[in-house]
């Protein structure tokens, strides 16, 4: 969710309703554990990149002596394996959290009833398009290269952007309705707890001077409610959900 972006003309929330405001129920897979094969797959990169004539022909050749010579931050292969395990576990947890967020967001959007204004969708689509293109530029890519890599036509891309815009806008409206229903408030001093910023004091001063304190409060309220939705979500396994 884009918590920084706010509607130029706030949507009339009275045109929408939520079918429920209680905790959501989502189906999630079991979070996989990192196994030795996963670690070996990471270690194989060292084998594959070994220079011609190197004695390293297999993972078994990555012994303590090789580690001390090539990875001086570690004492032995055991430490390297532990570091890889910790990193993979962190990545797995992050991916799991992203999936839970997406499923909770979908559950909220599924409760929303009402038609999104066409002008608001168009405005959000432009914001999504600009954000995507900025991300591509940071990766050294162009939109044309992205379309070629993903075998998409320009019309496919336009449809994808519009779909993202509609989903993002619907989620914002659903969160605003949840804020209303739960009477969620965020004090000025709490705003930076929910909005990412490098310098909280400077951020608050900037939004005050620009007259955007209420915009920032609304964005923070959305984040606060979304966190609550995720924390209180009833999580079922795929088998439980089917049952």
Of the candidates 211, 209, 215, 217, the one whose C-alpha atom is nearest the C-alpha of residue 188 is 217
Domain that holds residue 134: 1-16+114-170
Containing H/E element for 206?
Answer: helix 200-209
Do residues 164 and 49 share a domain? no
Residue 201 falls within a domain, yes or no?
no
- 0.75 exceeded by the pTM? yes
Query: What burial class does residue 124 get, using C-beta atoms within 10 Å of its C-beta: 0-12 exposed, 13-18 middle, 19+ buried?
Result: buried
Percent of the chain whose predicted confidence (pLDDT) is above 90: 83
Residue 109 falls within a domain, yes or no?
no
Residue 188 falls within a domain, yes or no?
no
Q: How many domains does the chain have?
A: 2
* pLDDT of 136 over the 70 cut: yes
What is the rounded distance in angstroms from the CA atom of residue 118 to the CA atom of residue 10? 13
Residue 96 falls within a domain, yes or no?
no
Query: Do you know the residue count of the chain?
Result: 243
What is the rounded distance in angstroms from the CA atom of residue 94 to the CA atom of residue 158? 29
How high is the pLDDT of residue 5?
42
Do residues 41 and 159 share a domain? no
Give the confidence band of 7 by pLDDT, cuts at 50, 70, 90: very low
Do residues 8 and 126 share a domain? yes
Residue 194 falls within a domain, yes or no?
no
Q: Which of 126-140, 159-173, 229-243 has the lowest mean pLDDT?
A: 229-243
Residue 166 falls within a domain, yes or no?
yes
Residue 103 falls within a domain, yes or no?
no
Residue 239 falls within a domain, yes or no?
no
């Amino acid at each position: 969710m884009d918590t920084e972006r706010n509607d130029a003309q706030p949507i009339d929330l009275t045109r929408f309703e939520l079918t429920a405001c209680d905790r959501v129920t989502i189906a999630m897979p079991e979070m996989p554990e990192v196994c030795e094969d996963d670690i070996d797959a990471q270690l194989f990169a060292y084998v594959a990149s070994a220079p011609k004539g190197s004695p390293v022909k297999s993972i078994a050749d990555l012994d303590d002596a090789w580690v001390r010579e090539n990875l001086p931050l570690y004492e032995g292969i055991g430490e390297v394996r532990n570091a890889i395990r910790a990193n993979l576990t962190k990545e797995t947890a992050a991916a799991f959290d992203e999936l839970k967020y997406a499923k909770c967001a979908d559950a909220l959007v599924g409760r929303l009833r009402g038609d999104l204004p066409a002008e608001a969708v168009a405005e959000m689509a432009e914001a999504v398009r600009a954000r995507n293109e900025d991300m591509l530029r940071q990766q050294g890519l162009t939109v044309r290269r992205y379309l070629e890599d993903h075998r998409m036509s320009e019309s496919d891309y336009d449809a994808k952007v519009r779909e993202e815009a509609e989903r993002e806008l619907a989620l914002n409206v659903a969160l605003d309705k949840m804020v209303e229903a739960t009477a969620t408030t965020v004090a000025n001093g709490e705003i930076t707890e929910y909005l990412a910023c490098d310098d909280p004091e400077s951020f608050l001063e900037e939004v005050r001077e620009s007259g955007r304190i209420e915009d920032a409060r609304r964005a923070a309220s959305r984040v606060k409610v979304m966190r609550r939705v995720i924390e209180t979500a009833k999580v079922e396994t795929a088998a439980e959900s089917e049952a």
